[in-house]
A = this chain, B = another copy of it.
């Protein structure tokens, strides 16, 4: 929570769509003492949310000061327009992961332009439904806010306060910028992960057996549900296709260069080297966490002894230091309790952490 950063949004807030995100927003608002009304096409979902303390089921006389539409992108424009006519003075916002098309749909269907402002809290999960919601899901996350050229300042302000009341950090950009950004960093990578994983379908079982951590990392998100992703990719189709075209172009160059190398033109490998080097440069631009300054974490590698409980002992030891653990990767070896653990930390914490772990008898890699 970051309540000190702003005044809480003025309720009552009507949340339409009590899935994971909608219910989490409702719980966060309740945590801040804001009145919340709940509505869902599936009354059972709304009741689950209400039973969790997310607010009250909206009745026919509801008069929300702000409406949050948390339904799939394909339906969001329609629901915003309906809310606009039902609640003639409320701020209208949504939380879908595609912005230009949703706002255009809402305006085309008659939503009041001055009260409409798009939003997208950046907190995905690989689960869904009200029962998975949490009041702290959005704490310290970015929440992108996309006003239109018509949005009035008071409604824009209300969207910001919604975000900060939920514990998130509002960041403003245009709807078109938002859609290109998420196409680049989320939607196209999702499809790429699926396409790579799809290449494994017809492979010999012996081939797949030798897969290592790299392939596992690259195909993890290919396990995500296809229904929501179909919806997202369909609604943000053109920006995603633009990113894919860039990827295809680079892959074609690399594949051509490799064919040339295979037929004896060894100098063509320079094209591949350049792409590998460009990849390392691009990689270095990714921030370590949502919104933090880009930073290359340093890794401290520890080889765990093959005994039960070593992982617990390691993390207990890390916890006794002041070092903040940014990430963890475990590289297992076949059939054993443990393996190599890579702890990602800020570069200036490496010496402290290595010394602390060595002094506790851990096998820290040089």
Contacts and interface: CB of A to CB of B under 8 A. Distances in A.
Given A209-B291, A234-B261, A276 B229 contact: yes
Interface in A329-354: 329-330, 332-337, 340
Interface string A177-219: 1001110111011111111111111011111111110111111
A283 B190 CA distance: 13
A275 B199 contact: no
A273 to B, nearest CB: 4
B301 A325 contact: no
Contacts of A318: 311-312
Interface residues of A, number: 139
Contact of A333 (B140, B254, B332): B140
For this chain, the copies found in one complex come to 2
A6 interface: no
A308 interface: yes
27 contacts: A140-B333, A169-B334, A171-B206, A171-B210, A181-B207, A185-B200, A197-B281, A198-B278, A199-B246, A200-B286, A208-B287, A209-B290, A210-B290, A216-B286, A222-B276, A226-B277, A233-B258, A234-B272, A238-B259, A244-B255, A248-B251, A289-B335, A290-B334, A292-B334, A308-B319, A310-B319, A325-B330
